[in-house]
Structure formats: C-alpha cells, structure tokens
Structure 1
Amino acid sequence: MSQPATTSPLQLGRQGFGAMRLRDTKSGDPDRDPFRVVNTALDEGVAMIDTAELYGNEELVGRTIAARRDEVVLASKFGVVRTDGRPDGPPDGFEVRADAGQVRRSCEASLRRLRTDRIDLYYLHHRSETVPIEETVGAMADLVRQGKVGAIGLSNVTAEDLRRAHAVHPVAALQEHWSLAERTVERDLVPAAAELGVALVAHSPTSHGVLHGAAGDAAPADERQVVHREIAAAHGVSAGQLAIAWVHSRGPLHGLEVVPLPGTTRASHVRANVAAREIVLGAEELRRLTAAWSPTA
C-alpha cells in the first residue's frame, strides 16, 4: 500500500494546487502541459494537489502524480454529480448526493481514476439538504478505518454542519472561498474552525481571477484599486500575488491554519503563485488592504 506524504495530523503545506481547470488540451504549449504544471508545483514545494469527481479530470491528475505519488497530499471531493451527461467542462446541471451508499461508490470510483489506493484528504463537496451530515460523515469515517481515506474534509457547508460532522469524526479541513473580495467565511465558519482546530483551505484566493486585474492600468481607479496598486508596486509583485499573500496573512490573525489553494493551467503561473508565500506585508499595509476591500467599504 502506498503511504501518504503526511503524518498525523495532516500536513497540508503552506500552499496547495487547485487542479479544477487542469486539462490534457494537447495545445502544444509546453507551459500548459498538465504534467509540467503539476510537477512544477511539486518541484516548488507544494504537496497538496486538489481535484474532485465533478471536475472530470481525476484520471489526468492520477497520471500526473503517478511517478511521485509518495510526495503528494492527494485531495479529492465527492457528492456533487453532473446531470448534463457530459464528462467534463463546466456543468450545465448538477445535484448533491451524499447518502452512505454514494460515499462508498464515489470513493471506489475516484480511487480507480486516480490510480491509487488511498485519498489523503476526502471532502464532501457540498452540503446536502436531504441527507443528515451525520450519515455522510459516518460513511466517510468507515473509509478512514478501512485505510482508503486518510482524513475527512468538508466544503460548502455551514458552521452548524461543521460542528455536527466533527462530533461524528474529526474534520481535518474545510475548503471554502476566501479572498480579499469574498469574506463571508469569516462570519461563522472561521471562528468555528479555529475553535475545533480545523484547517481552512482557501480556494479561489484571487476570486476566480478578479483580483489579478486589480492593479492593471485598465482597472477602474476606485479606492480599492488604488490601494491594491500602491501596495503591489511597493513590493514589486503582481496583483494576484498580493491577493494570495493577503490570504496567507489570515492564519495568525484568526488563530487557525490557512492554506491558499490557487489554481492555474500554466507552469509559469504556478511559480508566481508559490512565490506569494514569501511576501511579507506590514501591519499598516494589511490594514489598508483589508479595509479597502471590506464588503462595507
């Protein structure tokens, strides 16, 4: 049996790689070669590679990590099922299936596609309105006991969901959208995660690319953009790198482990994203940046 690249508790690393858009496009551009993209992430010290059954690329992810499986904290998700009949691309429709039988079936299928015998971090992708989360997490806990899953995660849930789930089995990580432009998670989920010792994996730290353009010459010159431009220029970094650095700063402030999860389809962008780990923002810079992008600003 292959061994995960972690010890208990789960070591997610300072930053992960979100593989949602990873595709074997045969574009001919070496920078977009998915094998180069993933290996660049691993070479740069990223351990966690994150995918999901919904993304339609688990087989590709499995191939890209096959030669380096023991270096990878492999994360995948289940529970959101396409209803459009298409294997990949943006779904035209989906539904949530989180009953115990679906948990088992999804895990077995993901293990086959990923070419592995263990998923290091397995998430419920979205809360169910019909299946009690205790049933879902109970089935996930069975997978942990069987050695098929290393740790349990949740995504797109409420603070109450987290507490109920954690009472059944320890939850290692939450994956939620957290960025300068999206702070909803701070209201209830972040305090609950901090209380329970749950890591927060922050997907879309640049808000699906919105914050990449915040410092561009063509961006609207409102107060948010002005502050973003000034601070990015002071550090000689891009707007996207500054946005990722801001997410890195949240952990000490809120008292929990925060792991930004940027995604890209270019190896060069992987290197730029990882470099954001080293940006050190001063207290006044953080205050100005956070206030400028506040939802009430």
Structure 2
Amino acid sequence: MSGSQLPQRALGPFAVSAIGLGCMNLSHAYGVPPSPEAAEALLLKALDLGVTHFDTAALYGFGANETLVGKVLGRHRSRFTLASKCGMTGVDGKRAIDGRPATLKRTCEEALGRLQTEVIDLYYLHRLDRQVPVEDSIGALADLVREGKIRAIGLSEVSADTLRRAHAVHPVAAVQTEYSLWTRNAEIAVLDACRELGVVFVAFAPLARGFLAGALHDPADVDALDARDLRRAMPRFQGANFAANLRLLEEYAAIAEELGCTPAQLALAWLLAKGEHILPIPGTTRIDHLEENLGAAGVALGADSVARLDALINQRTVAGVRYNAAAQADIDTEEF
C-alpha cells in the first residue's frame, strides 16, 4: 500500500496515518539493535510509505532512540507527527521512574536536543510515579505546552481514574497502553474513558511482541532469543504457558488465510476495527515487515470476523500474565 492510500485518523489535534511506527525496536528491549544504517533505512522507508506518526521515548536506548530519530528524520520534521515520552529514563544504567516536575522539564530539554526539533508534538508521561501526584506531573507538562516546547500531552499505562485526574488539570490528547488480541486490559475501563473524554488510544505491542505475527513458532525460538530480549522475562513466553499459547495460532492463521491477509495484518486490522479512536504503532527492524504491517490498513474486517477473533484469543484463553512481578509493579493499568 502506497503512502497516498494510508487512511488517516485523529491523534489529538493532529491527523496521522492510521498505522504508526513504534521506534523502540531500533534501539531497545529486543536484543542487539540493527545497525545505524539499517535503522536509518527503515525510518526513511516508513516516511516514504506514508507513515506520519513516529513514537519514541527518552527511555529507549537511554536516549539513543531519540538521537536516532532526530538525526534521520530531523530534516523531514514538517512531514510527520512526533511523539516521545518522559518520566521513565535511564539513570546510572538502570531504568528509573521519576515524575517530579523538574525532572520532566529537564528530560524535555534533553529530548528537544536529541530530536533536533524545537517542539515535540505529543509528549507522554511514560509511567505514573506513585511518589508524585499525577496532577503535579501533568502540571509540569502543561507548563511545557504554554512554553511552546510540546503541543499535546499523553499518558502511558494508566488507569481510567488516573486519566480522569490528569484530564482535569490539562486536556489529555492520547493514552498509550499495550493492546492486542492477547492483552485486553484496556477493555476494562480505559478505552471507554478515552471515548468519553475524546482521548485517542494508541496501542503499543499490537502484534503481541511478535507472537501474533508468527515470529515464535516453538519453545526453541524463545530459547534462541538474545539474553537481553525482554520476552525472556515475560510469563506468556515461558514453559507451559507458551506451549498453551502456541495452540491458539493454528486457528488464528487459518482465519488470516481465509481473509486473504497475513497473521500480522489480521492483528492490526482487528485493532483498527475496534474503534476510530484506536491507533496501533507496531515496531519492527525489517523493511519487509514494515510493508506488511502497513498493508493491514487495506484489510477490512466484518463484525463476524471480529467476533471470531475475540472468542479465539482473549484474556481467558491466553495463558500467563503479561509482565513479571517487577514490571507489573511499574504500571497503573487495570488488571483482570
């Protein structure tokens, strides 16, 4: 699908491609990142194909991903909507959550330099700092809006209650949370709260960390992952849980074949069919996968197909929780 054919959806005050690009994979969390040359080629190809929503964060590569995005896309800044995040960064080589106003403002200044831009279109509080009232964190971001350093405010991995508290301080443009067929936590309350408040929902990990794209076919594939790949610590990819989850893929792949699309495209088309206020941001390090993902914009799912998928893969049929205890402690999202 060419760029001119990519449908558009609202992202706060912006109109963006219905499928965006999550840039984390290029620097962070999935083992050895691609070479700088390969990462540059992928970013430029995404832009050429009509992607106008690029999502990064201070955390990714502890600044390296923002630097990459700025270096490669900075000269094309007028052609896309730029999203980044603060409130979770690398400190002394470790991930740290810090939502204090002064920290958020300093992180923004650093991000503007790395991203080679004068303004960030959408700036998220990456995680709720339980030691800092969300009203204080959002107040700092509201100051950045008034100063012209960011254009809109977002929240990541928050509950409906936290969203409402934040929205009362300053309008929230977007909430970003993991959402896919196998991670349905957003359906408890946040999706409805977003719809009610006019907030866009940005779905990260829409391909279930590659599982719904068929990237991992058997336990040996998990064993072969790089030691730094975050999936190694995720319960759904471990032992009996993973064996049980693999059994879901046969019927899932059959549905994709029946509909004339790939499994990855089916996962993204399901999200697009769930609501006009939902924007998936799949990540990838490969141009062929990028092209495949964008092709999902041309897959229209009927109500019957959506219902079949809902019944096949959901919180009751998937084995294992999505995060281990340490990672779970960092998020504010509702749990089943």
Q: Assess, with a 3 A threshold, how the Cα gap between structure 1 residues 268 and 134 changes in structure 2: closer, same or farther.
A: same
- Secondary structure of the residue aligned to 1:53 is coil
TM-score by length of 2: 0.77
Q: Assess, with a 3 A threshold, how the Cα gap between structure 1 residues 78 and 221 changes in structure 2: closer, same or farther.
A: closer
- Secondary structure of the residue aligned to 2:24 is coil
Deviations 1:238-279 (A, max 9, x none): 211111111111115xxxx10001001112211111111111
Q: Assess, with a 3 A threshold, how the Cα gap between structure 1 residues 7 and 199 changes in structure 2: closer, same or farther.
A: closer
Alignment-mate amino acid for residue 67 of structure 1: R
Q: Contact conserved, 2:83 with 2:123, CA < 8 A, in 1? A: yes
The aligned residue for residue 9 of structure 1 is: 13
Structure 1: distance between partners of 2:215 and 2:273: 19
> Are 1:260 and 2:287 an aligned pair?
no
The aligned residue for residue 39 of structure 1 is: 44
The aligned residue for residue 79 of structure 2 is: 71
Unaligned runs of 5+ in 1: 1-5, 87-92
Q: Assess, with a 3 A threshold, how the Cα gap between structure 1 residues 65 and 227 changes in structure 2: closer, same or farther.
A: same
Structure 2: distance between partners of 1:61 and 1:74: 9
2:57 pairs with one of 49, 52, 63: 52
Shift of the alpha carbon at 1:172? 0.3
> Are 1:94 and 2:118 an aligned pair?
no
**Identical residues among aligned pairs (%):** 42
Alignment-mate amino acid for residue 204 of structure 1: A
- Secondary structure of the residue aligned to 1:142 is helix
Q: Contact conserved, 1:248 with 1:258, CA < 8 A, in 2? A: yes
Shift of the alpha carbon at 1:284? 1.3
1:81 pairs with one of 79, 89, 95: 89
> Are 1:124 and 2:125 an aligned pair?
yes
Shift of the alpha carbon at 1:27? 4.4
Matched length:
278
Structure 2: distance between partners of 1:25 and 1:223: 30
Q: Assess, with a 3 A threshold, how the Cα gap between structure 1 residues 7 and 291 changes in structure 2: closer, same or farther.
A: closer
TM-score by length of 1: 0.87
> Are 1:155 and 2:175 an aligned pair?
no
1:170-209 matches, cutoff 5 A: 170-209=171-210
Deviations 1:88-109 (A, max 9, x none): xxxxx42211111011101000
Structure 1: distance between partners of 2:245 and 2:172: 42
Unaligned runs of 5+ in 2: 1-9, 220-242, 318-336
Q: Assess, with a 3 A threshold, how the Cα gap between structure 1 residues 126 and 221 changes in structure 2: closer, same or farther.
A: closer
